[in-house]
Amino acid sequence: MQVIQQIEQLKQVVRDAKRQGKTVGLVPTMGYLHEGHLTLMRRARQEQGLVIATLFVNPLQFGPQEDYADYPRDLARDCELAESTGIDVLFAPAVDEMYPAGNGKTLTFVDVEKITASLCGASRPGHFRGVATVVTKLFNIAEADVAYFGQKDAQQVAVIRRMAEDLNMNVKIVAVPIVRESDGLAMSSRNKYLDSAQRQAALVLSRSLERAATLLAAGERDSSLIVATVRDLISQEPLAEIDYVSLVDPLTMEALDRVESRALLALAVKFGKTRLIDNMLWEGK
Residue 274 phi/psi, 5-degree rounding, is -90, 120
Please state whether beta strands 24-29 and 50-55 pair in parallel, antiparallel, or not at all (unpaired): parallel
Q: What is the Cα–Cα distance from 52 to 37, expressed in whole angstroms? A: 12
Cα–Cα dist 75/189, whole Å: 13
Q: Which residue's CB is nearer to its own copies, number 132 or number 157?
A: 132
Q: How many CB atoms lie within 10 A of CB 173?
A: 20
The count of residues in the chain is 285
If the CB atoms of residues 43 and 162 are measured against its own copies, the closer one turns out to be 162
Residue 195's SS3 state is: coil
Q: Which one of the listed residues 28, 29, 37, 208 is annotated catalytic?
A: 37
Closer residue to its own copies, CB minimum distance, 8 or 283? 8
Q: Which ranges of 181-268 would DSSP assign to H, the alpha helix?
A: 196-201, 203-217, 223-235
Query: What angle do the packed helices 154-166 and 127-142 form, to 10 degrees?
Result: 60
Q: 75 or 167: whose CB is closer to its own copies?
A: 167
Cβ neighbours, 10 Å, residue 147: 26
Is 127 labeled as catalytic in the residue annotation? no
Q: Which residues bind its own copies (CB under 8 A)?
A: 7, 11, 106-115, 132-133, 136-137, 140-141, 143, 162-163, 166-170
CB of 141 to its own copies, least distance (A): 5
In the complex, least distance from residue 237 CB atom to its own copies, rounded to whole angstroms: 36
Q: How far is the CB of 131 from its own copies (least distance, A)?
A: 13
- Which residue, 133 or 191, is less far from its own copies as judged by CB? 133
Smallest gap from Cβ 92 to its own copies, in A, equals 16
Pairing of strands 263-271, 240-248: antiparallel
CB of 107 to its own copies, least distance (A): 5
User: CA-CA distance, 116 to 240, in Å (whole number)?
Assistant: 25
Q: 67, 79, 69: which is closest to 31 by C-alpha?
A: 79
Q: Please give the positions annotated as active site.
A: 37
